[in-house]
Structure 1
Amino acid sequence: MGYLALYRQWRPQVFKEVVGQGHVVRTLRNALTAHRFGHAYLFAGPRGTGKTSIAKILAKAVNCQHPQQGEPCNRCICCEQISAGTSLDVLEIDAASNRGIDEIRDLREKVKLAPATSRYRVYIIDEVHMLTAEAFNALLKTLEEPPPHAVFILATTEPQRLPLTILSRCQRLDFRRLNGEEMEERLREVAAANGAKVHPEAIRFLARMAGGGMRDALSLLDQCLTYAGQEVSLFDVREMLGVVDAELLIELAAAVLQKDFSRILLLIDGGMAAGKDVRRMAGDLAGLFRDVLMFKLCKDEHLLTFPIEITRGHDLAEKFSLDHLVGIIDELCRIEGEMKWSAYPRVLLETTLLKVAEGTGRVDIKAMAERISSLEQQLNDLRLGWPGGTTNRPPVKTPEAGRALAAKPAADSAISGNLKSRWGEILEGVKKAKITTYAFLVEAELVEEYTGEVVLGFKTGHTFHKERIEQAENRQVVEQVMQNVAGHPVRVKCRMQAVPEPPAAKKPEPEPGEGIFDLVAEVFDQAGR
């Protein structure tokens, strides 16, 4: 056989070689030492954390002819056959490709057969959550009362998808993601054994990019050694993975802070010219702002994703406010998902960064609190100017005046507010029903609502979106979702919506104290946006 990948070369062969799953290893070794191991285990956890590797070690341990404190000897015929994958008594089944009831019925027949050369027949079913409901039902009885020579080990990354009847018949062991220190130590060990010199920052970056999976970390290291040879730097790792350069990201963050709009656009263009993926750029930029947030709140370097210089990180953290950072991260995470469906992802990133730089749609909570406090003080001062609480107060409008104000044209009450107030729920329903329809509908707003009919308005420049919603297949999706929300059939009409300038009108003289109430209303209106 040719070259063997690093993650296969370094697959643990005994329990003591397993990294980061001490609680699982201790449970299994104690069960084996006390001869109390179960007939069915469920290994649940993220990918690359050692579920299948520990399943094979357990298969060797229960069949080993010379076990030592729960560890397989790796020298007897059973251990050697299982390690080589030639044992007839250890069957590894991929549930993703053998998920039907016929395969499980075949398994039920084979499980009755006695082991060929070992003490137990071990069935390792990987990705067990992929089995069909019928297959699970067929497996139930066998899993509950298997023959005395059978041991089942189920492995899954999504235990929540398993029926409760399956979960109740297994001993569940949860695997955790490995922390950075455990992965870095293992990567250094593997690199040294291969005679490679890997920069410490590169080791740390590989561990973070692996997301807690040792298999992914070893695969990335293998790829780096192939790319850069026996000496790997942080630059090599970033180039190989296509990660956006940290310096570019820091410059983008500084441009957002300084509201340098032209610099923002030029930096994005530079990243695109260097061949960087725009979605990756948005994700990496969100990661950088997250690191700035960590600098601001925790000041712990171990929580960082990108290798930022300490002084630059603290400098950015001091200049960004907390609510501004949270708003930027929220916007970048939102558009990263939308980019997958957008025909112009670059434009989406550019406009988003320009918006967060300008601060559009962002409410400064601290400034708002100070404004409200100031208005409260003005209100108190104003009340003190009304002796007795009644003498100098503004006159109360008469019922006749109130009725005159209430006399509005019927057209003004066309919008009942039932569907308009639930527009967000309608958008979410359309998004779940058909994402492409949602992409067109998100540019509309509900402008008129009558009994059984609504009118959607599209602003100038969104004619394409209007035409798409008017197509039968998209309009039917929207009407069906609105019917589900309203509880009755709804017909949808579309029109282009101009934004007229409000006519200039002479403002009436404010009554005493009326201006302060307008200010309060304005502040709370802004806070509610």
Structure 2
Amino acid sequence: MSYQALYRVWRPQRFDEVIGQTLVTQTLKNAIKTKQTSHAYLFAGPRGTGKTSMAKIFAKAVNCRHQQDGEPCNECETCQAITKGTLNDVIEIDAASNNGVEEIRDIRDKVKYAPTEADYKVYIIDEVHMLSTGAFNALLKTLEEPPANVIFILATTEPHKIPATIISRTQRFDFKQIQAKDSLARMAHILDEKKLSYDDEALKVIAKASEGGMRDALSILDQVISFGDETVTLDNALLVTGAVRKQLLVDYLTQVTTQQTQQALMTVQAVLADGKDPERFTEDLVNLARDLLLYRQSPELVTQIEMDQVDESFKKLASSVTPEQLYQTIDDLNDIQQQMRFTTHEDVYLEVLTVRLAGTPQSTPIAAAPTSQADAGELERLMAEVRQLKQTVQKLEQAPTVSSPAKPVTSTPKPTAKRSQVNLGQVYPILGAATRQDLSALQEVWGDLMNMLSIPQRSVMGVSKPVAASEDGAIIAFDNAFMQEHANGDQELIDALENGLDRLMHKVPKIVFVPIDQWPQIRKTYIQQHKVTGQSKPAAETNHDDEQTSASAETQPATKTEVVEKAEQLFGEDVVEVKTD
């Protein structure tokens, strides 16, 4: 038989073997023992935390006729068939590659048939957030009321991408990141079972590098075993993970905080010469700075996080460095990390970072106080200029005002500022195709659309209403200009509105927000500009000011009947009111 990866060979087969998910395992075991299982579950959490493994264990437990205390026996034909993946009644689907409507419709058509061998037919849909909107809609009714002998288990790493209508029809379980100590214990158990020698420090490095994923930890361990010829050493673990020895990190921070620039640059060169990843090096430095800050407040907490890797050099550095230095170091490291993502010369950024960190404390005394007689003279000169400027300002404030009346000054900018918030190039195309029927259809579903939004989004849209609509667009007017500006900048709100309209009206119109106090003028200007041809002008022509618009209207006269007809076509006869001047 060919070699299998460790995470496949040592995949949990019982609830008690799942690491770090006690709350989930105990709840599911009790549900199976008391026969109170639900028809649909949602397993959400980071990668490699046991979601799919838990789903398969659950499928075995509900179908095992010899289960004890909620645990499957793993010896009967049903359990063994599920473990091998050969039981037709347990269907595992990858939603990343089967995310269309047709695949879900196939499930909907087959779900009504009774299971052939097991008691329950179990559908495990992995990465369910990858399903399309149409696929979610196709799954919705089946998920709400499936046959009595069918169970759905949905697994995802991004639950925020799943519609609320789907989540509300499932029992949700959130899987947490696995703690380093639990990963360490699991790896030690596996190596003991395989009778392989290992270094405890190496397992600690692997556990920290896995970042809370048990599958990642076993994959790294597999690499270290292969590289070390059936042995696990600290050097091999550091080489495979790209991590740097803790002592080297402590030495580097000690050098930069004591302004030993040359020694710190030599340390950086040693790190790069060993083939270490600069991004991983900066990440390790951020974690070390975090640990130093925490150690000053709670030494026991850091000792637990670092799994007893706190030595004398670490304690000495923690007592010598100031919190301000650590804050500045973390800020500089974060800036460099952002810049490293867009460059191929990461070593250069690392060297620049070293010079900056080593030189940061030296700039503080200069800003605090003058260090020479020349600096003192320059400071006195600047203070004299400041005093002179203050005197000038006081004289200007006391002088009589001879400027023009304030009314035009205060009133003119306000309409300009408001008009700048409305993109007429987006409004006019919608008005050009707007109909009363489209507006009525939008107004009918407006209440349902508001109910689909979150509470904060609903509070923003509570002061708005649709005022015009076409097949491809909708204009929403806000009573409050501040809320309109806030909505314009909230892309998540716009996406929620478009997704809701897609489900309610089966189309995604372009949404444009306008202030309600500007809407009559926008509507009037549009009708005047289009009362001859009835067609929209280019977007560049819609940005003229009011004077140009009026002049354009005078050069293109039209009868009152044409204007009224156009207005009634756009907004409905019950909205348009004709008044004679």
TM-score in terms of structure 2 length: 0.61
1:342 is the counterpart of 2:343 = yes
Match of 1:286 in 2: 286
- Matches for 1:10-21 after TM superposition, within 5 Å: 10-21=10-21
- Counterparts in 2 of 1:117 and 1:396: CA distance versus 1, 3 Å: closer
Indicate how the Cα distance of structure 1 residues 362 and 169 shifts in structure 2: closer, same or farther if over 3 A, else same: farther
CA distance in 1, matches of 2:312, 2:17: 40
Q: Following the alignment from structure 1 to structure 2, what is the Cα–Cα distance between the partners of residues 209 and 488?
A: 60
SS of residue in 2 equivalent to 1:86: coil
Report whether the alignment pairs 1:270 with 2:263.
no
Secondary structure of 2:188's aligned partner: helix
**Counterpart of 1:37 in 2: which secondary structure?**
coil
How far 1:131 sits from its partner (Å)? 0.8
CA deviation profile, 1:103-160 (whole Å, cap 9, x unmatched): 1111111212221211111000011111111111110000001112211000111111
The residue number in structure 2 matching 1:480 is: none
CA pair 85-362 structure 1, distance change in 2 beyond 3 A: farther
SS of equivalent to 1:151: strand
Is 2:257–2:325's contact at 8 Å kept on the other side of the alignment? Answer: no
2-structure distance, mates of 1:361, 1:160: 47
Partner in structure 1 of residue 79 of structure 2: 79
What whole-Å deviation, never above 9, does each CA across 1:444-500 have from its counterpart, x for those lacking one?
xxxxxxxxxxxxxxxxxxxxxxxxxxxxxxxxxxxxxxxxxxx999xxxxxxxxxxx
Does 1:330 pair with 2:331? yes
Q: What pairs up with 1:273-422 in 2 under 5 angstroms?
A: 273-300=273-300, 301-305=302-306, 310-359=311-360, 400=395
Q: Compared with structure 1, are the counterparts of its residues 269 and 306 closer, same or farther at alpha carbon in structure 2 (3 Å cutoff)? A: farther
Report the structure number with the largest CA radius of gyration: 2
Superposition TM-score, scaled by structure 1 size: 0.67
- Structure 1 residue aligned with 2:60: 60
Show the counterpart of 2:231: 231
Separation in structure 2 between the aligned mates of residue 140 and residue 277 of structure 1, nearest angstrom = 46
Structure 2 unpaired stretches of 5+:
370-389, 402-416, 418-488, 490-542, 546-581
Counterpart of 1:205?
Answer: 205
- Helix, strand or coil at the partner of 1:136: helix
2:151 counterpart residue number: 151
Mapped to 1, the partners of 2:34 and 2:128 lie a distance apart of: 28
The letter for the 2-side match of 1:190 is I
Structure 1: how far apart are the matches of 2:86 and 2:79? 10
The answer to whether the Cα contact below 8 Å between 1:184 and 1:204 also exists between their aligned partners in 2 is yes
Partner of 1:23: 23
Residues 39 and 151 of structure 2 are in contact (CA less than 8 Å); yes or no, is this contact kept in structure 1? yes
Q: Following the alignment from structure 1 to structure 2, what is the Cα–Cα distance between the partners of residues 5 and 252?
A: 37
Letter of the 1:91 counterpart? I
Comparing 147-156 with 207-216, greater Cα deviation is found at: 207-216
Q: Is the 8 A contact 2:126 2:155 kept in 1?
A: yes
Structure 1 CA distance for aligned equivalents of residues 162 and 118 of structure 2? 30
Amino acid at match of 1:235: D
State the partner residue of 2:131: 131
Task: Give 1:241 shift.
Answer: 1.7
Distance in 2 between residues matched to 1:29 and 1:174, nearest whole Å: 16
The one-letter code matched in structure 2 to 1:184 is L
2:171 matched to which residue of 1?
A: 171
Aligned in 2, Cα 1:400/1:295: closer, same or farther, shift over 3 Å? closer
- Is 1:261 the counterpart of 2:265 in the alignment? no
Flag the 1:362–1:3 CA change in 2: closer, same or farther, 3 A: farther
Contact 1:100 1:132 (8 Å CA) reproduced: yes
Give the whole-Å Cα distance in 2 for the aligned partners of 1:341 and 1:305.
31
Q: Which residue of 2 aligns with 1:195?
A: 195
AA partner of residue 14 (structure 2): V
Cα displacement (A) at 1:88: 0.5
**Cα deviations by residue, 1:427-456 (Å, 9 ceiling, x for unpaired):** xx9xxxxxxxxxxxxxxxxxxxxxxxxxxx
Residue 309 (structure 1) shift: 5.3
1:396: Cα distance to partner?
7.5
Q: CA deviation at 1:307?
A: 7.8
**Residue of structure 2 equivalent to 1:387:** none
How much has 1:270 moved relative to structure 2? 2.5
Query: 3-state SS of the aligned residue for 1:42?
Result: strand
Equivalent in the alignment of 1:5: 5
Structure 2 match to 1:377: none
Cα deviation code 1:49-107 (max 9, x no counterpart): 11111100111111112222212122222111101110000110011111111211111
Q: Residues 149, 354 of structure 1: CA spacing in aligned structure 2 closer, same or farther, 3 A cutoff?
A: same
AA in 1 matched with 2:117:
T
With over 3 angstroms needed to count, the CA separation of the structure-2 counterparts of 1:136 and 1:298, relative to structure 1, is: same
Structure 1 residue ranges without an equivalent (≥5): 369-394, 407-417, 419-428, 430-486, 490-529
SS for the counterpart of 2:123 is: strand
Kindly provide the amino acid, as one letter, of the partner of residue 329 in structure 1: I
Alpha carbons 1:91, 1:123 under 8 Å: kept: yes
Match in the other structure for 1:426: none
Query: How many angstroms apart in 2 are the aligned matches of 1:133 and 1:266?
Result: 55
- Aligned match of 1:410: none
Q: 1:43 to 1:145 in 2, by over 3 A?
A: same
Q: In the superposition, relative to structure 1, how do residues 344 and 361 fare at CA in structure 2: closer, same or farther (>3 Å)? A: farther
- Deviation for aligned residue 1:7: 1.2
Shift of 1:194: 0.6
Give the equivalent residue in structure 1 for 2:97: 97
Within 1, Cα distance between the matches of 2:67 and 2:40? 21
Cα distance in 1 for residues equivalent to 2:544 and 2:238: 55
Instruction: Tell me what 1:219 maps to.
Output: 219
Identity among equivalent positions (%) equals: 44
Whether the 8 Å CA contact 1:210–1:217 is kept in 2: the answer is yes
